[in-house]
A and B are shown apart, each in its own frame.
Chain A
Amino acid sequence: MKTSLFGALALVSLVAAYGCSANNATPPPDDTEDQLVGFKGNVDHAGIVEATTMMLVKAPVALNLGGLDPFNTADPFHIEAGKFKDTFVSNLAKYDAADGVVGWTPAQTEAWTSRMAAGNYLVVDTSKPCDFAAPHTYLEIERAGLTGKEHQTCGGRMPNEDALDVTLNFLIRGPGASAEDDEAITDGVDQATTRSHATFPYLAEANGI
């Protein structure tokens, strides 16, 4: 039994590896909800974009998918920081070195990695402006805090903002870097299949309707 279980898990990990290099993914069969009958408790949490898939993963991700489960099943407001801090630190050092320029001070590194190791959440200020039509608020509150400034926007996250570009510039160029300037790093994709719209429920209608 153990052999078949581990075989299945290894197979899934390998498939995930192939998915990493693909530019277009093919949907798996629908409705897996009953396949994990018997499992109870926390499954996943979401807050910061790429918290696991970039900031916590140990390459190659496909061989370490199971290593992300302890983070995913933790309480997003009360993660046992000691379990994950070292990985956040080593990964941030890797990203910071990617462009050959030091973008993170030791104090900023300590503040950010401590925060990520202890909790995964968005920060939103409901008293500050959000511009849905021109969204540039993701991580603005956190970046302001790390660079000693007052935040100016609502922070949070809006669906049309290019949060991957924000993340890439944040990790590689540092918390003071913008995702909008001439040196900005980008993956070259700047919108979803269909842009979200300004009327409830905001996200675009499903594809294939």
Chain B
Amino acid sequence: MKNAFVLGLAALAVVLGAEAPSHASDHADGLTTTLDRAADLTDIYTFTSPEDDSKLVLVMNVTPFASTRSRFSNAVDYVFRIRPIDDAKTLKPTADASREQKIVCSFAGGMPVIEPKQRATCAFHLGGASSESVQFDTRSSSFGAGGSVAKNGVRVFAGVRSDSWFLDLGKTVKFISGTNVAKSSGVNGLHGQNVLSIVVEIDKARLAGPLLAVAAQTVRK
């Protein structure tokens, strides 16, 4: 009964306050993620750092339509998963789970609406039995709505950023229906929106690359 009530409230909240834009990268791409925005992954990026080419950057965005006071869920693990690809022809990641490297970020503290600052912990499981972790606050004076840490060659940021995804929603719907659309200017349906972002920068030498498969995952604890 409680679960049905809670889901009903969530549905009502969406109905009253929103138009949930599916068809947007990975935004609200399922019933559960539409309801569970804190665990709704919207995008993942990975690229060589433009500041230091010896480092790889990993980015995951969650929580579409975040406000500047949005928080990560304290009940969710936000995970970067990295597996080596041994064969450049098949591009298949290794099936050997023991070779997987993970970066797991979790959050504590804060309070909905009242206190956006949380304590972030990101644990680096990069091989072997040992792991290391960094901790930092998700609000600091260095950012409008975020916090970061730099330690042992690793940098991590967590906080609110401008949504980096862009598309014309109306045209995308037409493309999805199988209609080819003539070229014309479009309107970014996510203009002015924010997301919660986790950005990790790490030495490439610590990864099992150079050819890697990278995924982001959210897991409710």
With an 8 Å Cβ cutoff, the count of chain B residues facing the other chain is: 139
Complexed CA–CA distance, A65 and B191 (Å) = 24
Task: Evaluate whether A8 and B175 lie within 8 angstroms (CB atoms) in the complex, with A45-B215, A164-B167 already known.
Answer: no
Q: Are A156 and B20 in contact (CB under 8 A)?
A: no
- How would you classify the secondary structure of chain B's contact residues: helix, strand, loop or mixed? mixed
Report B-chain residues with C-beta under 8 Å of the C-beta of A186: 183, 186
The contact of A16 among B20, B85, B163, B193, by CB within 8 Å, is B20
With an 8 Å Cβ cutoff, the count of chain A residues facing the other chain is: 122
Most interface-central of A33, A53, A94 (chain B CB within 10 A)? A33
Task: Evaluate whether A15 and B18 lie within 8 angstroms (CB atoms) in the complex, with A32-B10, A43-B76, A126-B204 already known.
Answer: yes
Min CB distance A7 to B, Å, is 8
Report B-chain residues with C-beta under 8 Å of the C-beta of A201: 143, 146, 148, 155, 157, 161, 197, 199
**B residues 64-108 touching A (CB-CB < 8 Å):** 65-71, 73-76, 81, 83, 85, 88-89, 91-93, 95, 97, 100
Task: Evaluate whether A124 and B46 lie within 8 angstroms (CB atoms) in the complex, with A44-B218, A199-B51 already known.
Answer: yes
| 8 A-B contact pairs sorted by A residue (CB < 8 Å) | A4-B5, A25-B169, A33-B73, A43-B220, A65-B31, A163-B25, A200-B148, A208-B192
Contact residues of B with A, CB < 8 Å?
Answer: 1-51, 56-57, 59-61, 65-71, 73-76, 81, 83, 85, 88-89, 91-93, 95, 97, 100, 112-113, 143-146, 148, 155, 157, 159-173, 175-181, 183-194, 197, 199, 201, 204, 207, 209-221
